[in-house]
Amino acid sequence: MIRAAIIGLGKMGLSHQAMVNAHPGIELKAVCDSSTYVLDVLSKYTGMTTFADYKKMLAEVPLDCVFVATPSKYHTDIVAAALERGLHVFCEKPFGLEPETGYRLADLAERKKLVNQVGYHYRFVGAFNEAKRLLDQKLIGELHHVQVEAYGPVVLRPKGSTWRAQKSEGGGALFDYACHAIDLMNYLIGPPIAVSGTVLNSVFSNDVDDEIYSTLQYSDKLHGQLATNWSDESYRKMSVRLCFWGSNGRINVDRQEIQIYLRSHDGSGGLTKGWNVRYTTELTRPVWFYVRGEEYSAQIDHFVQCINSGQPSASTFRTASDTVRVAAMLRLDAQKPRTAIAANAAASAETAGSPAPLRQKSFMRSLFDRL
C-alpha cells in the first residue's frame, strides 16, 4: 500500500481526497489545511488524522507520496519540502507561477528519481487521447493550423473573495484556466516556439484577467490560435474544444466526441473518407471509482501506477513547467506595443508606431504588473 497525505482541502483537495481514499492501492494517512473548521469536520465524521501545519505533518507521518492542492502561490515551497523528504508528489496545476522555479523542482524530482505529476486532467480524457493517437499517426497529414478554445462560467461578477481573484495569489484566467488549454496543446503537438498578438483582458475581475487570446507559432508552417474566457455563463461547465487542420483533413475534438474529416483514406482503422465521429462512450476507459469525470480518477490511478512501476508520469513537473513558460510568454507578449492602423496618409506620418491609447494601456499594464 502506498502511504499518502493531502495538503490543501479546497474544491480540488477534497475531490482528490474522495478519490484517493477510495483507491485500493493507497492508504490515506493524513490531510492538512489551514481551515480548522474543515479539519474538525473531517476528523469528527471520517476519523481522518489532520494537521494544520504541513511541515509538522511531513515530519511526523511516515509517507510515500503527497497530493498538493493549495492555492497556487504555495505550491513551490510545499513541493520542494516533500521532494527533499524523498516523497513522490502530485501537485495541482498550474505548477508554480514562474517556469524557472518549476524546472528547478523538475530537476530535483528527476535527480531523486521520484514520480512527479501535475493535475492537468485533460491529458486523461479519452477523446483527447484518441486525437493524440491519430495526430501522431499523421492521419490528417501535415498540420498547418490549430485552434484551441476554452470557455466556462467561473468569474461572473466583479467581486470574488477567494485567492482566484487575486493576481498576487496566482489568480486570473491565464494561469488558472488558460493553462489547461495550453497544456493540452503542448501534450498533443508540443509547445509553441513563439507567440504574438496576445490580449489579456478583464471582463468582470478588478485585479485579474478573465479572457486571453493569442496567436501561437509552432514552426514555419504551423500556427494556431488560442481563445479562453472564464466569464462565459452560457456554458454549464468548463468546455475545451480543439480543431486541427492538416493537408489530408481536419479533426474537431472536445471531451464528448471526436469528429474526423478525411480527404482521402484507405479504410483502415474503421475510418472512411469524409466525416467520422466517435463518442466518449466508446473512447473512455472505465475507472475504479467515479466522482466527477473519469479523467480525475484516471490521473490519480496513473500516479499510483507510476509509483509502483517506476515509469515517468504522462504529466510531469517538466511538462507543466513548459506550460507555465508559455503562459509567461503570453503575459509578456500582451504588454508589447501593437501595430497601429493609420486613418490616412497624413495621420500615418504623425502616429508612426503605436497609437496613444494602446501605448498608454501597455504602460499601465506594465505598471500594474510591477506593482
Partner 1 sequence: MDRVLFGDNQFFGVNHMSEEKARAQAMRFQNGKAIIEVLEDAYAEGIKAFMCTTHERMSEICDHFRTNKDKYPDYVFYPCMPYAHKYANAAAELGMLGAVRSFLPEENKLGALLRGGMSLARQDVEGLATLLIDAEMKMFAGLKTPVIFLQNVATDFLLGLGFDEAFKMFADRVRDHYDAEPGFMTMNAPMLVPRLEKLGISNPIICANFNKVGFRMCPSIQAYEDLVAQRRCRMVAMSVLASGALAPRQALEYVCQFENIESIVFGASSRRNIAQTKQLIDELTRR
Please report, as ranges, the residues that interact with partner 1 according to CB under 8 A: 10-11, 14-15, 17-19, 21-22, 35, 37-38, 40-42, 44-48, 153-157, 160-162, 164, 236-237, 239, 241, 254-257, 279-282, 284, 286-292, 294
Instruction: Tell me how crowded residue 236 is: count the other CB atoms within 10 A of its CB.
Output: 8
- Residue 275 or 279: the one with the smaller Cβ distance to partner 1 is 279
CB of 241 to partner 1, least distance (A): 7
- Residue 177 or 187: the one with the smaller Cβ distance to partner 1 is 177
Q: Which three cell numbers stand for residue 279?
A: 463518442
CA–CA separation, 94 and 183 (whole Å): 9
The bridge status of strand 50-51 relative to strand 116-118 is: unpaired
Q: What interhelical angle do 317-333 and 99-111 show, nearest 10?
A: 170
- Residue 248 or 256: the one with the smaller Cβ distance to partner 1 is 256
Q: Which three cell numbers stand for residue 188?
A: 498533443
CB of 193 to partner 1, least distance (A): 31
Q: Are 2 and 62 in contact (CB under 8 A)?
A: no
CA–CA separation, 169 and 97 (whole Å): 9
DSSP codes of every residue in 106-148: HHHHHHTT--EEE--GGGG-HHHHHHHHHHHTTTT-SEEEEEE
CB of 297 to partner 1, least distance (A): 8
What are the φ and ψ backbone dihedral angles of 113, each rounded to 5 degrees?
A: 55, 45
CB of 9 to partner 1, least distance (A): 8
CB of 231 to partner 1, least distance (A): 12
- Residue 16 or 88: the one with the smaller Cβ distance to partner 1 is 16
CB of 14 to partner 1, least distance (A): 7
- Residue 26 or 307: the one with the smaller Cβ distance to partner 1 is 26
- Residue 143 or 178: the one with the smaller Cβ distance to partner 1 is 178
Q: What is the CB-side half-sphere exposure of residue 158 using CA atoms within 13 A? A: 1
- Residue 86 or 158: the one with the smaller Cβ distance to partner 1 is 158
Please name the residues in contact with 136: beta carbons below 8 A apart, sequence gap of 6 or more: none
CB of 27 to partner 1, least distance (A): 13
- Residue 18 or 332: the one with the smaller Cβ distance to partner 1 is 18
Beta-bridge mates of residue 89: 66, 116
Q: Which three cell numbers stand for residue 343?
A: 486613418
CB of 142 to partner 1, least distance (A): 28
**What is the C-alpha radius of gyration for the chain, rounded to an integer number of angstroms?**
22
- Residue 153 or 197: the one with the smaller Cβ distance to partner 1 is 153
Q: Are 70 and 82 in contact (CB under 8 A)?
A: no
CB of 238 to partner 1, least distance (A): 10
CB of 146 to partner 1, least distance (A): 19
CA–CA separation, 310 and 88 (whole Å): 11
Cβ-based burial of 133 (10 A; exposed 0-12, middle 13-18, buried ≥19): exposed
- Residue 65 or 334: the one with the smaller Cβ distance to partner 1 is 65
Cis peptide before 191 (omega within 30 of 0): no
State the Cα angle at 179 between 95 and 107, rounded to 5°: 30
